[in-house]
């Protein structure tokens, strides 16, 4: 019985993912208000009834996508500490998170940023960076706010740039280079007398 339950769960997960990915693909082409359940069903290659088994409408799909991305982001960064001198673990976690959801992130970052997701991701990332900067013993707290904004903006905008320019550099290499730039640039500013 338990094996059958696992198969059903995997099928549900796969179907919901196909629906969410179809929704994101359509978002690249048009505004959310103009996307229909029929279009999502056709793009996902499922029946409209199947979509209604899981969602009440287009905005319910949008909410589910948003919640999943935010949850994945929070899980990937929850226990990590942004260490301005040794950031490798954080950047490795971000690399893995993006790799695991490459199709969705690629599509989302290529469209006009939606404040519902990008704003929440940015705010969460800013809070995480701020928490670490403010708890570091070597950092002058009067400089923490600017450093927090710099690191958060650099991360967010750089990943967006990477997606929008066709991911020419391998993700691992890009992430390592970004980490090096952020750390070497920020450390000198934060620690200097």
Q: What is the pLDDT of residue 157?
A: 84
Q: What is the per-residue pLDDT across 69-104, written as a single tens digit (0 to 9) for each? A: 778 777 776 666 655 555 556 667 777 777 777 777
Q: What is the pLDDT of residue 110?
A: 61
Q: What is the pLDDT of residue 123?
A: 83
Same domain, 48 and 78: no
Residue 129 phi/psi, 5-degree rounding, is -65, -45
What 8-state DSSP symbol labels residue 142? Answer: G
Q: What is the pLDDT of residue 94?
A: 73
Q: What is the pLDDT of residue 52?
A: 96
Same domain, 48 and 123: no
Structural domain ending residue among the three candidates 39, 55, 71: 55
Number of H helices and number of E strands within the chain? 9, 0
Same domain, 116 and 150: yes
Q: What is the pLDDT of residue 73?
A: 75
Sign, CA dihedral 160-64-40-100, equals positive
Q: What is the pLDDT of residue 61?
A: 92
User: How many domains, the chain?
Assistant: 2
Q: Which of 95, 94, 93, 71 is nearest to 20 (CA)?
A: 71
What 8-state DSSP symbol labels residue 113? Answer: P
Buried b (16+ CB within 10 A) or exposed e, 62-98: bebbbeebeeebeebbeebebebeebeebbbbbbebb
Q: Which of 141, 130, 136, 113 is nearest to 77 (CA)?
A: 130
Dihedral, 124, 28, 61, 93 alpha carbons, nearest 10 = -40
First to last CA, the chain: 66
Question: What is the pLDDT averaged over residues 48-74?
Answer: 88
Whether pLDDT at 154 is above 90: no
CATH of residue 36: 1.10.10.60
| DSSP-based helix, strand, coil % in the chain, nearest 5 | 80, 0, 20
Whether pLDDT at 133 is above 80: no
Band of residue 13 on the pLDDT scale cut at 50, 70, 90:
confident
Question: What is the pLDDT averaged over residues 110-115?
Answer: 60
Same domain, 101 and 142: yes
Q: In terms of pTM, does the model score above 0.85?
A: no
Q: What is the per-residue pLDDT across 28-46, written as a single tens digit (0 to 9) for each? A: 788 888 999 999 999 999 9
Which residue shows structure tokens 């029929």? 38
| Mean pLDDT score of the chain | 78
Q: What is the pLDDT of residue 50?
A: 94
**Structural domain for 97, as ranges:** 63-191
Same domain, 130 and 50: no
Nearest-angstrom CA–CA distance, 62 and 180: 35
Same domain, 21 and 67: no
Same domain, 77 and 151: yes
The pair of structure tokens assigned to 169 is 């550099």
- pLDDT, greater one: 147 or 192: 147
Same domain, 71 and 35: no
Same domain, 37 and 101: no
């Amino acid at each position: 019985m338990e094996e059958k339950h696992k198969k059903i769960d995997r099928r549900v997960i796969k179907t919901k993912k196909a629906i969410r990915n179809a929704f994101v693909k359509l978002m690249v082409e048009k505004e959310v208000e103009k996307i229909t359940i029929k279009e999502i069903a056709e793009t996902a290659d499922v029946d409209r009834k199947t979509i209604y088994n899981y969602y009440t409408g287009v905005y319910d799909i949008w909410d589910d996508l948003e919640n999943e991305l935010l949850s994945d982001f929070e899980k990937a960064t929850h226990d990590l500490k942004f260490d301005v001198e040794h950031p490798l673990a954080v950047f490795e976690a971000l690399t893995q998170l993006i790799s695991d959801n490459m199709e969705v992130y690629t599509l989302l970052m290529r469209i006009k940023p939606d404040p519902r997701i990008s704003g929440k991701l940015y705010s969460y990332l800013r809070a995480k960076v701020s928490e670490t900067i403010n708890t570091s013993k070597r950092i002058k707290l009067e400089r923490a706010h600017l450093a927090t904004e710099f690191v958060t903006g650099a991360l967010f905008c750089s990943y967006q740039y990477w997606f929008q320019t066709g991911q020419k550099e391998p993700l691992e290499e890009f992430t390592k280079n970004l980490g090096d730039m952020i750390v070497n640039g920020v450390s000198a500013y934060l620690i200097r007398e």
